[in-house]
Chain A
């Protein structure tokens, strides 16, 4: 039992380091002046990409349970959610501090002109209460309301993908990949919600064995 606990602590630390590495990479490239001809855009895009990736990973936990009856991933859900918030914060900070140079004049000139920025800001504001209520204490204190509150993540994810779709010029391929992934992740939940009360598939073990071999 004790050995098992140590194992998961080690895995958690490894996941943490892995999740932080894109940020470390950004810092490294910044210090080394390796961000290319448009460094602000590079930081802006990279932090945005990682926000969406962590958001999708966070939303993958439940479908893994529903489809395969897996449980291990729940140990990482909070961490993945908080990394989503972390990268969103980096993304917003790059925009406000570097792109807009913290200038009120620029903010007033530019933010209202960009509908996708407003959508992104809305998503970030909705993300704040989720990050603030992510501690174990808050989960206990809020009880059943915690779950209700955290359903906001679905809205946030949709806004996040719209934010990306709305900003690209003509080539929609990349944001559409995120839209497809999100549709699958939310669609899985919907199918199960309609079917019954979020119980895993009866044939989940069979499906799991089919796709991944016998455990």
Chain B
């Protein structure tokens, strides 16, 4: 098998799973100071193999005060249909995905349209750690410590015009690298959208990492959206285009199933999916006897985002 080395990400930075697990155990052991000496002795090796490149990112006050889901679960269980429709497919099929060079074009209703490359983004944006709960429309959830920055700040740099009412995001379209795109399960490329006030809300971020590390390919590298009060499918991955528009974007899941997946897709336990209940969610990483948790309105962010939907019938605008 040909292993392609990413230009920006040296091979030494790629951590294999087994090693990672071993280290986790060692780190845990060291933290518990049970075998402190042993842990200390291995510390340089640990640092070399797992650069926490974002470890200096300040912790955001907007984070949940909850224990994140295990790293292994976060990187091995998710939906990313570009790499297959099974939950384990993204981790399996995205390992050779090339995330460099990578540019994002910002266009449409902006005074200064242009492209920005990942290096510039990483250098110029204020990265923070944000611990959010990700609630999937399939009624499961996990808690992820993202590293990212405010989408609003990025958009402001391109100076939106007064006609900018919506923001449309597009994922890379590259069936050669993304085997899932060779099957027409969705109308590729994946498109998502937000209303402009949702897009510039302080909770809305573009993530470049998780657990202090570079975003793994399967989680939407190199750049993905995270909108914590909406179902996971709104948080589009591997973004190459951000377009500000006057019209509401035609989003991928809404096109595929208009009765089932609305444009807003706010987490809402009182509006069920036509085929299943949204009142509760399975907790990823729980055991077989872990009961489901009750889903919260706006995934727990009613105070912060409730006003955006004042006067709207959320059973109609689901």
Interface residues of chain A, those whose CB is within 8 Å of chain B, are 30, 33, 35-41, 43, 98-99, 101, 103, 106, 109-110, 113-116, 166-167, 169-171, 173
A40 to B288, Cβ gap below 8 A?
Answer: yes
Task: Give the residues in chain B near A115, CB-CB below 8 Å.
Answer: 275
B280 to A38, Cβ gap below 8 A?
Answer: no
A40–B292 Cα distance when bound, in Å, is 11
Task: Give the residues in chain B near A113, CB-CB below 8 Å.
Answer: 272, 275-277
Residue from A101, A114, A169 having most chain B Cβ neighbours under 10 A: A169
Q: B232 CB to closest chain A CB, in angstroms?
A: 12
A114 to B85, Cβ gap below 8 A?
Answer: no
Q: A27 CB to closest chain B CB, in angstroms?
A: 11
B288 to A30, Cβ gap below 8 A?
Answer: yes
List 12 A-B pairs, Cβ < 8 Å.
A35-B288, A39-B286, A40-B288, A41-B140, A106-B292, A110-B276, A110-B279, A113-B276, A113-B277, A115-B275, A169-B85, A169-B138
Contacts A113-B277, A115-B275; A170 near B257 (Cβ below 8 A): yes
B289 to A98, Cβ gap below 8 A?
Answer: yes
Contacts A37-B285, A40-B282; A101 near B291 (Cβ below 8 A): yes
B277 to A114, Cβ gap below 8 A?
Answer: yes
B279 to A39, Cβ gap below 8 A?
Answer: no
Contacts A43-B288, A171-B85; A114 near B282 (Cβ below 8 A): no
Residue from B69, B76, B186, B276 having most chain A Cβ neighbours under 10 A: B276
A39 to B288, Cβ gap below 8 A?
Answer: yes
B287 to A37, Cβ gap below 8 A?
Answer: no
A38 to B284, Cβ gap below 8 A?
Answer: yes
Q: B266 CB to closest chain A CB, in angstroms?
A: 18
B275 to A166, Cβ gap below 8 A?
Answer: yes
A106–B282 Cα distance when bound, in Å, is 12
A43–B289 Cα distance when bound, in Å, is 12
A-B contact count (CB 8 A): 71
Closest to B256 in A: A170
Closest to A167 in B: B275
User: Does B88 reach chain A (CB closer than 8 Å)?
Assistant: yes
Task: Give the residues in chain B near A106, CB-CB below 8 Å.
Answer: 280, 292
Q: B272 CB to closest chain A CB, in angstroms?
A: 5
A174–B204 Cα distance when bound, in Å, is 36
Task: Give the residues in chain A near B11, CB-CB below 8 Å.
Answer: none
B279 to A109, Cβ gap below 8 A?
Answer: yes
Q: Is the interface of B mostly helix, strand, loop or mixed?
A: loop
A88–B140 Cα distance when bound, in Å, is 24
Number of chain B residues whose Cβ lies closer than 8 Å to a Cβ of chain A: 33
**Partner among A37, A109, A167, A169 whose Cβ is within 8 Å of the Cβ of B73:** A37
Q: B121 CB to closest chain A CB, in angstroms?
A: 30
A122–B140 Cα distance when bound, in Å, is 26
Task: Give the residues in chain B near A101, CB-CB below 8 Å.
Answer: 289, 291-292
B76 to A110, Cβ gap below 8 A?
Answer: no
**12 additional contacts (CB under 8 A) given A30-B288, A113-B277, A167-B275:** A37-B285, A39-B286, A39-B287, A40-B288, A98-B288, A99-B292, A113-B275, A114-B277, A116-B275, A169-B138, A171-B183, A173-B183
User: Does B248 reach chain A (CB closer than 8 Å)?
Assistant: no
A129–B293 Cα distance when bound, in Å, is 36
A109–B77 Cα distance when bound, in Å, is 26
Task: Give the residues in chain B near A38, CB-CB below 8 Å.
Answer: 77, 87, 140, 282, 284
Top 3 nearest A-B pairs (CB, nearest first) are A37-B77, A37-B73, A113-B277
Closest to A101 in B: B291
Contacts of B180-204 to chain A: CB distance below 8 A: 183, 185-186
Task: Give the residues in chain A near B276, CB-CB below 8 Å.
Answer: 110, 113-114
A114 to B275, Cβ gap below 8 A?
Answer: yes
Task: Give the residues in chain A near B183, CB-CB below 8 Å.
Answer: 171, 173
Task: Give the residues in chain A near B85, CB-CB below 8 Å.
Answer: 169-171
